[in-house]
Structure 1
Amino acid sequence: MAPSSFPRRRTSDPLHQAIRDQISTSSTKTKSSTLSISPTFILLLFLTIWCTSTLLSSSFHICISSPKLDLYCISGGLSHPPLPPNTSNPITLNHIDDNISKFIVMNNSTEETERGNAYKIVRERLNIIRSWASDGPTAGKSCDGRRIFVYDLPPKFNRDLLSQCNNLLPWTNLCNYFVNEGKGERISNLGPSFYRTHQYSLELIFHSRILKHPCRVLEPNNAKLFYVPFYGGLDILRWHFSNVSVETKDMLGLELVQWLEAQNSWTKNGGRDHMFVLGKISWDFRRREGDSWGSNFLMMDEMKAPYKFLIERQPWEVRDVGIPHPTHFHPKGDSDVVEWQNKIGWSGRKNLVTFAGAARPEQVESIRSLLIENCVANSDDCRFLNCSSGACSTPDKLIMSFTDSEFCLQPPGDSPTRKSVFDSLISGCIPVLFDPFTAYYQYPWHLPEDHRKYSVFIDKEEVRHGKVDVVERLKSVGYEERKEMRRFIVYELMPGLVYGDSSSEFVRFRDAFGVVMDNMMDLVTKGVR
């Protein structure tokens, strides 16, 4: 199996951790002594108060702690996010400030309160993005006020990166994955619309689609929306496992911004009417000070204004919009979608549960090993595909396993999201999620707010502490409930999760690309900022 594409879990904010450690030490000393207070303790108390004051007045971090999720931090001093239409009151962070104060002076049980307040902010910002969604398909609408300009960037920002397809990863030649406009090689035994699509192909797929958009114009002065076809995911992918400096990793992104700043169409609105599609997770473009992983592309001031579409968004960033990972299904039109729906909608499913994945022994917080043990112990009801032994390397076998299963386990891997979530959804297999950041806080335009319609949630902490038998929990889900969830997934959800062929034409359905473009065109037409 290829090595992990992401670094080990980072530690929490040093100042925040130092304050917690100091309080813990002081508390222990107080309990083991008399009521006398030493000068050292008084000094430390004043230092704690001073640090707290500084933390609240200038810079602080609240982080969601999960496997490699402590990078998901919100910092003091952030400007308010853009408001949805007809919103007069900005979201305030006062209750977050108050919660930090409580956390510093109380014991560790307050961490759950902090986490709850952090989740609340995430949901509020997600709802802002959700409020930007269009009322429906824009097919057939006039392109007046809705025209799109696609930059013809110098080839070093996209095409030249494709020419390095055999060297982007040390263990995989990606060239065969990038044929057919990024869809990859055909998988004939699944049907004419299935391809061996790589999880990092989104930039190519989206670019090929938008070049054929009916509202595309060739003059920037005629456009309302601007698409920048920068293959930033491929750019940073080539440096992940190379011993190069952070300056090298940042170079191409910096050159792109400098190129854009020389364009009148960029400077006119400061990039606020521009959009990027990046085929990796937000973390890879938000390198924090002192780290070496990834680039600083999305940390640049110039990149705060544009809309960024990624397979995994930064939960605190309102202009980071999560869109589906590319799957293996790329229909050419409505008939391809209907044919696949008929095939998987009411087909008999031999397995109750399937887990396709591998253990993460290097991740102490990962629940994958526990899920594997549970699955193996219930082999009559659960099928385990060991990806570390190559069982997941053939997409057709993986998809067929999902189409044969009622439920598909989807724990976090190297990051919260998984391409496998969307592979299971397009197969009609109900995803079982263990972390809300895997899907619920990621895809506001493509997945409904009510996650009970399409998934089962089991808290990973219940699994970690042995409070739940996952297979037994899933066996308790009634037949009619499963049937309704699968109906919703197959007939209402699935068409909007796939990226159609570049020549595709949809009338009855909107694919994932159509959802993004309809929403963005409505957004710039309304002038939401």
Structure 2
Amino acid sequence: MPRPPPSPPTPPLFFVLTTVVFLILVAATVSEDSDPESDCTNKWIHIRHLPPQFNLHLLTNCSQYPLFDDFCPYLSNHGLGQKTHNNSHSWYRTDPFMLELIFHRRMLEYPCLTSDPNLADAVYIPYYAGIDSLKYLFGPEINSSFNHGLDLFHYLVHVDSPSIWRNYQGHDHFLVMARPAWDFSQPLSNDPPIFGTSFLELPEFFNVTALTVESRAYPWQEKAIPYPTSFHPPNLAYLESWINRIRKSRRSTLMLFAAGGGISANPNIRRSIRLECDNSTNLNADATGYAKFCEFVDCSNGVCEHDPIMVMKPMLQASFCLQPPGDTPTRRSTFDGILAGCIPVFFEDLSAKKQYGWHLPEEEYSEFSVFIAKEDVVFKGLKIVDVLMSIPRTEVRRMRDKLLEMMPRIMYRKHGSSLGLRSKKDAFDVAVEGTLQRIKSRIQEFAYQ
């Protein structure tokens, strides 16, 4: 379990240099025979060889975007961040926007890599799109955000082995973009540009599969994959130890709301939740078996983002975790809650059901979550407490068991993890498997065009 922060942070330059040097060393040693016993039929992936201006060099600017954050401390451990305390083996201060680094590091140990693009079933572009977008979102090129991605496209198509792209016009390529797709979806016609870049609006990239932490409802080219949490176990024993802790945890709170916002005078779901949570202190919870009906953890201004103990401890003590939309429909908190065995309560389908189909199959949502329409709460006076209290305890236990069964699929295990843990598919494995299936389908369609 995470503990309060220990020693002073290591200098940012050390994080950058360590990450850069290690990634280069790993990239130089990984090959397609790294796991000779793997069945790689229809699973071969080729990694495009990008110059460091598209990934590693971007990390050296980690402190140059004060309007965003100084993300230098989160580069350590190849994007997992610093350990929560010196003796931690599984818990890190992970920033979700470092998913591009985490995914890249894991891809370098993927067992079915090939150096021959002609043998590959898919082609990975190790481009740190979200980090590169910062110069357009918060930096000096804010008025040129429609250029985001054009240099990459020129390199892929005209500089580095153009035939790799030309084989399928990019249909076999994929990349990771560690921000909501909305941040890359500014129409090219916007003049002057507003917040966001136009990467996903460029016709040049329409054929590429983009793995984002949140997708839009309509474009086919992007697919949402889980936000990274702070839990990255290195072996099966640490995962099983955490699962045992969840099973033994006493759920003394009916529902938990860990978030910011909800203070606006205008009607909205977060405001309704805050008001109901405040008023629940006047209700008698003793007869229900709960010590309290609702707990609110104030995560305003990102104070919970890199301190997992602030949310994990109360989540372990709650039966249900409320997951209303905020600035965008999805929340990292959804995956933090699942990790704590706290049953998610959703208020709109775009918060998860229409997002993470590979990791959280849509047809299974009733087995591990609760849905309450936000309009019923905000405008019709429906009480969330009443809905949750009406669920039988046996059903609550069954839903939690389902969460524990699903948990490995939504976490990103630590790179270099043990063979036993690798036998369980994690969020990376599921994302790669889904990407390969999607690309196979797209290539078949392309062949008949």
**2:426 is the alignment partner of 1:514:** no
Residue 61 of structure 2 aligns to a residue whose secondary structure is coil
Q: Shift of residue 144 of structure 1? A: 4.2
Corresponding residue of 1:418: 331
1:275 maps to: 174
1:413 is paired with a residue of what secondary structure? coil
User: What is the count of residue pairs matched by the alignment?
Assistant: 390
- The structure-2 alpha-carbon separation of the partners of 1:439 and 1:184, relative to structure 1 and needing over 3 Å to count, comes to same
Task: Give a deviation string over 1:220-262, Cα, whole Å, max 9, x none.
Answer: 2332210001111112234323464432x23341100111112
State which structure, 1 or 2, has the greater radius of gyration over its C-alpha atoms: 1
Q: TM-score, normalised by structure 1?
A: 0.70
- The amino acid of 1:250's aligned partner reads F
Q: What are the superposed Cα offsets for residues 30-84 of structure 1, whole Å, 9 maximum, x if unpaired?
A: xxxxxxxxxxxxxxxxxxxxxxxxxxxxxxxxxxxxxxxxxxxxxxxxxxxxxxx
Contact 1:169/1:237, CA 8 A, preserved across alignment = no
Q: Does 1:348 align with 2:250?
A: yes
Structure 1 alignment gaps of length 5 or more: 1-137
What is the distance in 2 between the residues matched to 1:331 and 1:139?
Answer: 25
Which has the larger displacement, 337-346 or 349-358? 337-346
Contact 2:65–2:138 (Cα < 8 Å) also in 1: no
Distance 1:273 1:349, change over 3 A: same
Matching of residue 210 in structure 1 with residue 107 in structure 2: yes
Paired with 1:328 and 1:194, the residues of 2 have a C-alpha distance of: 6
Point out 4+ residue stretches in structure 1 off by more than 6 angstroms: none
Counterpart amino acid of residue 389 in structure 2: K
Q: Are 2:315 and 1:402 aligned?
A: yes
| Counterpart position of 1:97 | none
- The equivalent residue for 1:307 is 209
Determine whether 1:369 maps to 2:271. Answer: yes
d(CA) in 2 for partners of 1:389, 1:273: 40
Please state if 1:503 is matched with 2:416. yes
Alignment correspondent of 2:231: 329
1:255 corresponds to which of 151, 159, 180: 151
Counterparts of 2:265 and 2:218, CA distance in 1: 24
Find out whether 1:194 has 2:109 as its counterpart: no
**Letter paired with 1:419:** R
Residue 264 of structure 1 corresponds to 163
1:443 aligns to 2:356 (yes or no)? yes
Alignment match, 1:185: 82
Indicate the percent of aligned positions where both proteins have the same amino acid: 34
CA deviation after TM superposition for structure 1 residue 356, in Å: 0.7
Preserved contact between residue 433 and residue 457 of structure 1 (Cα < 8 Å): yes
Per-residue deviation, 1:337: 2.1
Q: Deviation per CA, 1:94-137, whole angstroms, max 9, x where unpaired? A: xxxxxxxxxxxxxxxxxxxxxxxxxxxxxxxxxxxxxxxxxxxx
The one-letter amino acid of 1:204's match is: L
Q: Which deviations, in whole Å up to 9, do the C-alpha atoms of 1:430-472 show, x marking residues without a partner?
A: 1111111000000110002231111111111011114211123
Cα offset for 1:389?
7.2
Could you give the per-residue CA deviations for residues 6-31 of structure 1, whole angstroms, max 9, x where no partner exists?
Answer: xxxxxxxxxxxxxxxxxxxxxxxxxx
| CA distance 1:197–1:181, shift in 2 (3 Å) | same
Identify the match of residue 474 of structure 1 among 388, 406, 414.
Answer: 388
User: Are residues 375 and 259 of structure 1, via their aligned partners in 2, closer, same or farther at CA, if it must alter by over 3 Å?
Assistant: same
CA separation in 2, counterparts of 1:461 and 1:515?
Answer: 33
What stretches of structure 2 of length at least 5 have no aligned partner? 1-34, 282-291
One of 364, 368, 375 as aligned partner of 1:461: 375
